[in-house]
Every structure is written in C-alpha cells, then in structure tokens.
C-alpha cells in the first residue's frame, strides 16, 4: 500500500491544488476507496499499545489531529485506517466559510504545509447531529473555537455555548485558543484570559456532567507563558494539554521564496522540535501530572516515540498523514511497538516522560 501511494497516488494528488486534493481525499474515504483494514487487522495493529488517559481508554495512542476532518464526516473511516482516536473540528457556533482561497499550500522540500483556512466548518449544530449518528469505532474528540466575528471580550460566552452543544457527542473536548488564522485568538493564551475561559468552561462542565476538557496551545509560547498555562490547568483541574498547534515562524525552511504563500500556520517536519520542546516544558512544569497529546511533525514511529519520551501520553498527526498516505497510522504503530521493546519498556505507559528520568 505504501509503495502504491508514494509512486502512483501521491504524485497525482500533489499535482492538484492542496485543498482540492484534500477534498478528494475526504471523498475517497467517504466512499471506501482507501481499502481499510479489517477489524482483526486493527486489533493486531493496536495490540499492546492501549493507553488510559483522562478517564478514557484508547485502543492505541496515534490519533488524527483537528483540521483534517473538520465536520466529522469520515470518523469511522479514519478509525479503519488504524487511528486510535479522531479529533473533529475546529467547529464554531455558527457555520463559517473561512478565509478566501487559496489557503492551503504544500512545501515538499520541507515536508510541511501552510494553512490559513480560518475555521471553515458547518457549524456546531450540524456537526453534533452528524456525530450523533456514527458508529464510533474509536475515541472521538471535538475541537471548539470561536467565530471570527466574535470579539475577544465575548469569547468566553461563545466557547461556553459551543462546549454545551458538543458535550453530548464528544468523548473529550479540546479548546482551541492557538490557531494563528483567527485574528486575536492567540491573545486568549495569556494567563488572565485563559484562566477566565477555562474557569467558565469548568463551571459549565459541572452543570452538564463530567467530560474530559483539554486546551490546545501554540508552539511559539515562551517558557514563562507555558508555565502560566500549566499552573492554570492544574488549579482548575483541566484534564490535559494538546501541544501544539501550527507555528507562525518560517525559520530554517528550505523552500525558496516561502513568503509568496503569505500568512498562515506552518505544520509538518519543521514543527517537530518546537513541539517536543513545549511537551517537555509542560511535563516538567506539571511534574508529569498533566496528560499531554503531542502533535507536530510526526512522520515516523521515531518521531512519535520522541514525543512520548518527552512526556506525551498520546500523539496526533495531520501533515505526516497527508504525505504518508493510508498506511501512515499502521506504519507508526508497528514501529512504536518495536521501539518500546528496543528501549526495554514493558508498556507504552512506561515510556511516557522517560527522557526526564534518564
């Protein structure tokens, strides 16, 4: 499967506009053209790699990050490719078209993407209705954000409404305050703003019933800001942190004239070390008490293992999946199993944060 993807399918897809290719990929998944694994195959892939995290049991630690299936249309199909969990979204209260096209670009020399999609989605009500009808072959998280036309002074109310809507269909809820493509959104990461937002969401959770609540942060935060967010999360009993979103940095890229793509968040291989740094910082500042989903630059099992060793209990991919194709999750899972054994760990859980104990 990997050879056919690399030599035949990917060149055809990469000849198309990046967003058009993405839409075709979603359509292929919906119609079953990706030749998913059987249930027996999936059990074999996940054997020995289950993980319990924030009260949920994941078949395996490799998930698909928010942004790939924004509207929850291919959740079961992604699970059939081996992903242990799928994070739907980002979804907003009202439907949103996002930014003008073109808004998604490939950087093959860097194994990267730049996107300025701008939370394009069907709106929370449509997504909730859709998720209520699916079979659920894996853990399903829902990533929520605010609409572009909602000023930051009204952001708390907007997020609380979205949280209330998705509460019934999400296994966990991720709060996106770190996309660079909604003006002013990253200002919500300040200690004061994030504390106000997460406290309001925690209060709403008390009313609705227990539900794992996570916050997704940027890779461009300094050490002090990371510590502030960790302190807020621990004090409010937030269940975990997703590290990280895309970066606005363009440092060290091989792609010539990268400025021609304009603004947007950079994902993929250039994000790998930035993300690992943030994961390590969260793990150290929380004393390992705050579960982490590590995301950013995962293309191989070694990349995933590095994030786990840095402190992540679970990992997610998007750009690596775009480049790696349908066998991506299976390849990473097989490699993870070998790496866990190679490093002498009896389980995946034992490997979490291991670089800090070395």
CA-only gyration radius of the chain, Å: 19
Whether residue 92 lies inside any domain: the answer is: yes
In tens, the pLDDT along 147-191 reads: 999 999 999 999 999 999 999 999 999 999 999 889 898 999 998
Whether residue 86 lies inside any domain: the answer is: yes
Active site members: 179
pLDDT of residue 247: 96
Q: Where are the alpha helices (DSSP H) in the chain?
A: 2-4, 10-14, 18-31, 39-46, 75-79, 124-131, 155-166, 191-208, 223-235, 272-286, 301-310, 319-324, 328-342, 348-351
Domain that holds residue 335: 34-352
Residue 139 structure tokens: 């853990």
Please, are residues 246 and 103 in contact by the beta-carbon 8 Å criterion? Answer: no
Please, are residues 198 and 236 in contact by the beta-carbon 8 Å criterion? Answer: yes
Whether residue 255 lies inside any domain: the answer is: yes
In tens, the pLDDT along 105-158 reads: 999 999 999 999 999 999 999 999 999 999 888 999 999 999 999 999 999 999
**257 Cβ neighbours under 8 A, 6+ residues apart:** none
φ, ψ of residue 280 to 5 degrees: the values are: -60, -40
Whether residue 14 lies inside any domain: the answer is: no
Structurally, how many domains does the chain consist of? 1
174 vs 197: CA distance, rounded Å: 13
pLDDT of residue 12: 85
Whichever domain contains 86, its CATH number is 3.20.20.70
Whether residue 24 lies inside any domain: the answer is: no
Cis before 55? omega within 30:
no
**DSSP H or E run through 64:** strand 62-64
170 vs 212: CA distance, rounded Å: 9
φ, ψ of residue 185 to 5 degrees: the values are: -60, -40
**344 Cβ neighbours under 8 A, 6+ residues apart:** none
Whether residue 112 lies inside any domain: the answer is: yes
Whether residue 108 lies inside any domain: the answer is: yes
Whether residue 23 lies inside any domain: the answer is: no
358 vs 40: CA distance, rounded Å: 37
pLDDT of residue 11: 83
Please, are residues 103 and 115 in contact by the beta-carbon 8 Å criterion? Answer: yes
Residue spans of the chain under pLDDT 70: 1-3, 33-39
Please, are residues 229 and 191 in contact by the beta-carbon 8 Å criterion? Answer: yes
Order across the sheet with 112-115: list the strands. 104-107, 112-115, 265-268
pLDDT of residue 3: 66
pLDDT of residue 2: 66
């Amino acid at each position: 499967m990997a050879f056919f993807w690399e030599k035949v399918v990917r060149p055809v897809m990469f000849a198309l506009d990046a967003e058009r290719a993405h839409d075709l990929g979603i359509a292929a998944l919906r119609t079953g053209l990706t030749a998913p694994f059987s249930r027996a195959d999936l059990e074999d892939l996940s054997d020995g790699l289950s993980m319990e995290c924030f009260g949920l049991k994941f078949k395996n630690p490799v998930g698909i990050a928010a942004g790939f299936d924004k509207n929850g249309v291919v959740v079961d199909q992604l699970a059939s490719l081996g992903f242990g969990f799928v994070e739907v979204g980002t979804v907003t209260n009202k439907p949103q078209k996002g930014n003008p096209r073109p808004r998604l670009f490939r950087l093959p020399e860097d194994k990267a993407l730049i996107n300025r999609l701008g939370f394009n989605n069907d709106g929370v009500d449509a997504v909730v209705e859709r998720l209520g009808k699916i079979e659920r072959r894996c853990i399903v998280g829902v990533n929520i954000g605010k609409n572009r036309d909602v000023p930051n002074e009204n952001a708390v109310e907007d997020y609380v409404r979205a949280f209330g809507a998705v509460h019934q269909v999400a296994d966990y809820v991720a709060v996106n305050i770190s996309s660079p493509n909604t003006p002013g959104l990253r200002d919500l990461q300040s200690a004061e703003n994030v504390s106000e937002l997460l406290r309001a969401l925690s209060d709403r959770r008390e009313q609705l019933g227990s539900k794992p609540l996570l916050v997704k942060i940027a890779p461009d935060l300094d050490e002090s800001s990371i510590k502030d967010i960790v302190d807020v999360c621990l004090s409010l009993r937030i269940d975990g942190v997703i590290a990280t979103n895309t970066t606005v940095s363009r440092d060290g890229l091989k792609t010539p004239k990268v400025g021609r793509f304009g603004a947007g968040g950079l994902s993929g291989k250039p994000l790998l070390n930035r993300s690992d740094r943030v994961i390590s910082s969260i793990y150290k500042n929380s004393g390992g008490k705050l579960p982490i989903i590590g995301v950013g630059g995962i293309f191989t099992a070694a990349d995933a293992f590095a994030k786990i060793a840095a402190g992540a209990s679970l990992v997610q991919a998007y750009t690596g999946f775009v480049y790696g194709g349908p066998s991506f999750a299976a390849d990473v899972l097989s490699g993870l199993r070998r790496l866990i054994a190679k490093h002498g760990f009896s389980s995946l859980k034992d490997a979490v944060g291991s670089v800090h104990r070395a």
